[in-house]
Structure 1
Amino acid sequence: MPASSLPVQVLLGLYLGLLTGIVPALVAWGLGFVFKYFTGVSIPGFGVVVLALAIAGVNGGLLALNDAAIRDAANGTALLIAIIVVLMISLYAHAKGDAMGSSLPKRITLKSLTERTLSTDVIDLANGRGKVHVTVAGDVADIEGYPALPQDLRASIRGFAEDVDADRPLAELEVLVADHLRAEFDLSEAVVRLDERGQATVAAAPPIAGVSKRVPDGTRAVSVPALLPTGLARGDEVTVVTEANGTFEGSVVAAKSDGAKAETAAAPAETGTDGQSPAPTPAPSSPTTTGGDGRLTVAVDRAAARTLLGATVRRVIVRSRGTRREFELLALLRRAGKRFRRRGVRAGGDLDGRSLREAAVRDEYGVAVLAVRDGGRWQLAPHGDVTPTAGADLIVVGTRDDLDRFGREVSS
């Protein structure tokens, strides 16, 4: 049979390369993915070339045996082009399999596959770490069973905006934003629904308790008139000295000097040397007294509450709390780049029903579990045999990245 022209040989080589290169490409992709995913090792390119040529040779031989016309028409040019096409397809498939094996998460669950994520268009990477600007969209709804929101509080919540990390699923971001709303506006309850563009739909309930939620268990709140020191705030420990009934120790749950306007009013602006008024001093985050006569609400023991109600207060002494050891510990950990977080054990997660030693929390996630609360009782410095169950609370310490990964894969 006369030899074919060069264009025909080129086309025949491309045809044979595509036809015989499908199986080597699939094998190269599968081996590259499996080795990279399970061992973290990439197969050398030379091994892929040898394997692809071997499989393609078997395919080409079987094809030539079945079709004599191809065997007679093909010459060295067509075979060379076919080999090049097979190698190119196999190496490309191997590179794709290797890349997929390195990027695919090691633990895949049905929940992770169905989790909603943020759109990449709204993620800001200017600061080196993905952030998304969360704003409240639409009106703030009321929660059934709770009182309606006052209009001023509703407007304040509508103006809420915050930048949060974008490397979390939307379900975790919704819980995070709801916690921030409850902390900032002292809400009784908040429900947040985020869409893919970071727009939050919020339903909230107003605060339904004031002093009562700050009174510790087993104590009673008693209000007495007294001469108050300047700067007294909630949480301060005081000693109330009476004229005939002795002294009483307790913690301040509320305090107000006579003349409430003086307590929150900003200092009058002074004119600077350039003729412009400087910015007013911002109000303190925690209300404090301005000194002078006022009323003090203090939490005392139940037995002392009735006696203090009928007593005449001579003076109020603020007790020094000194430098607390827990704050020193926090400062040391922060200087070392560590942070504290409170996490809950997720049902079906790595820690649900497994001991801390079996889950290898320190080796696997790089965090240390300092305390576990399971069944309503805290256990400090838990040993490796402690087995948390779904719903248990953990106090963990580690770097920000390790804590974020621990939160995504283990906790709720």
Structure 2
Amino acid sequence: MTALPFEILLGIYLGVLTGIIPALIAGVLGFLFKYVTNVSIPGLGVVVLALGIAGVNGGLMALNDENIRTSQNAVALLTAIIVVLMLALYAHSQGDKLGGSVPKRISLRQLRDRTLNTDVIELVGGRNQVRVTVTGEVNDIEGYPPLPADLQEEIKTGQWTFPADLPVDELETRFADRLQSELDLADVTVSVDERARASVAAAPPIGSTSKRVPDGKRAVSLSALVPSGMTRGESVRIVTADDTVTGTLIAARSGDKPADPAPKPTDDLATDGGIDPEPSVPKPPTASTTTGGEGRVTVVVDRTAAKTLLAASEPQVIVLSRGTRREFELVSLLRRSGIRFRKQTVKPGGPLDGHTIGEADVRDRYGVLIVAANHDGWQVAPRGSQLLSAGDSLYLIGSREALAAFAEVAV
């Protein structure tokens, strides 16, 4: 009679040889079944499948090995069966766990959602922030004039800090928007790596006044008594001898002195041997405002009103009240609760093209809500019967993940 330890080792050996293929099949099936149906294969099914495949594999081994074919030891056989079942059940559990953790939709947007390296994150005032550094030369954008040297130097030496919890693609968008708004650039492209190093290409400001005039409107400049504290975007009323016109202010200048006088140079100042003065911290840029008095304003009005203003001799400028902007408060509350806004365009042949909002069922299927749709004109809070077609513009609200999934699938 063969020794018991030898029979146990023989059973383990046979179990590993015959159990590799059943374990692989059980793991793959467990992953696919969980990933597709979100339901796990019962353990009894795994046992039956593993024993069936192991029996076929063991029979093939017995044909090639006479010792296995003539062996009558039940201990080795029982040990081999236990090893086969353990391997199959373990592989199935790992495949089932992997199938439940793998995301159902993998898009290029999700693959590009890179995060910053933790080495570049700074703690300032109890909040994590990252300082973006512009590396290399600031390139020009094809089709635009070259960027002046002073603007290139300002972009390279500027202090550009942002919240550290932003993905890299969102950081690129915010950096480009900030450069374009603060320096009034015509166009900006930004590429940021995980070390917060940015490559920037920018176009200089061109036609700043014409960019602010909407289609169908006209910009008219007038000499008048300008109220103090006015800035771009103010709603104003121009009173003439013949008529009263309401428009939007896009430029203004008043008084003999600029609103923000340049500071005097202090390079030649010296101390008397005491403590060196601390370097002054530059104040953040603020919006230019008028100082009041005689000056000129540029307002955007309708075409018919432009002729009236051009013929006016002594117009009066009245600033209208904006009131309380409840929409800004609403957007702030929604952002605090994780809701974001996004504008999308319906793509040809997509699930929304040629269907109504109710048929597409975007709220239940994608978790987003269409708050406005441009189909032969803008419709705010469109009904379910609103038809959508390729090229229509949509304003959506939802969580960041829901909007990203909807953008990849539906538009």
Residues in 2 aligned to 1:37 and 1:382: alpha-carbon distance in whole angstroms: 36
Distance in 1 of aligned mates of 2:130 and 2:9:
52
**Which residue of the other structure, out of 225, 228, 234, is the alignment partner of 1:227?**
225
Aligned equivalents of 1:125 and 1:406: distance in 2?
A: 31
- 1:97 matched to which residue of 2? 95
Residue aligning to 2:403: 403
| CA–CA separation in structure 1 for the residues paired with 2:387 and 2:19 | 53
The offset of 1:123, in angstroms, is: 9.4
Shift of 1:409: 4.6
Output one character per residue of 1:325-383: Cα deviation in whole Å (capped at 9) or x when no partner.
Answer: 645654665576543222334567654565534443111222110122357x4333334
Number of equivalent positions = 392
Show the 5 A alignment for 1:52-71.
52-64=50-62, 66-71=64-69
What SS does the corresponding residue of 1:215 show, helix, strand or coil?
coil
Letter in 1 for 2:204: P
1:168-191 deviation line (CA, Å, top 9, x unaligned): 8x6x87566545543443322223
How far is the alpha carbon of 1:28 from its aligned partner?
A: 1.2
Q: TM-score, normalised by structure 2?
A: 0.77
Q: Which runs of 5+ in 1 are unaligned?
A: 267-275
Equivalent positions of 1:249-264 (< 5 A) are 249-263=246-260
Percent identity between the aligned chains?
A: 53
Note the 1:102-251 alignment, pairs <5 A.
102-107=100-105, 116=112, 118=114, 121=117, 135-158=133-156, 159=158, 160-163=160-163, 178-195=176-193, 199-242=197-240, 244-251=241-248
Structure 2 counterpart SS, 1:313: coil
Q: Which runs of 5+ in 2 are unaligned?
A: 264-276
TM-score, L = length of structure 1: 0.77
Letter in 1 for 2:406: F
- The answer for the alignment partner of 1:379 in structure 2 is 379
RMSD of equivalent CA atoms:
4.0
In 2, distance between residues paired with 1:35 and 1:331?
Answer: 43
The one-letter code of the counterpart of 2:248 is: S
Distance 1:259 1:9 in 2: 105
SS of 2:39's equivalent?
coil
Taking the aligned partners of 2:357 and 2:121, their CA distance within structure 1 comes to: 36
Residues 21-79 of structure 1, C-alpha deviations (whole Å, 9 max, x = no match)? 12321231132112211221223445433432343234324533553311335734433
Deviates more, 1:61-70 or 1:224-233: 61-70
Q: Is the 8 A contact 1:118 1:166 kept in 2?
A: no
The answer (yes or no) to whether the contact 1:132–1:166 under 8 Å persists in 2 is: no
Once residues 140 and 63 of structure 1 are traced to their aligned partners in structure 2, the CA distance between those partners, rounded to angstroms, is 69
Asked if 2 retains the 8 angstrom alpha-carbon contact of 1:240 and 1:317, the reply is yes
Residues 12-31 of structure 1: pairs in structure 2 closer than 5 A: 12-31=10-29
Report whether the alignment pairs 1:360 with 2:352. Answer: no
* 2:306 aligned partner: 305
The residue type paired with residue 13 of structure 2 is Y
Q: Structure 1: how far apart are the matches of 2:122 and 2:69?
A: 60
Query: Residue 271 of structure 1 aligns with which residue?
Result: none
| Per-residue deviation, 1:101 | 1.6
2:115·2:167 contact (CA, 8 Å) conserved in 1? no
- Equivalent residues of 1:370, 1:381 under 8 A apart: yes
Q: Secondary structure at the match of 1:230?
A: coil
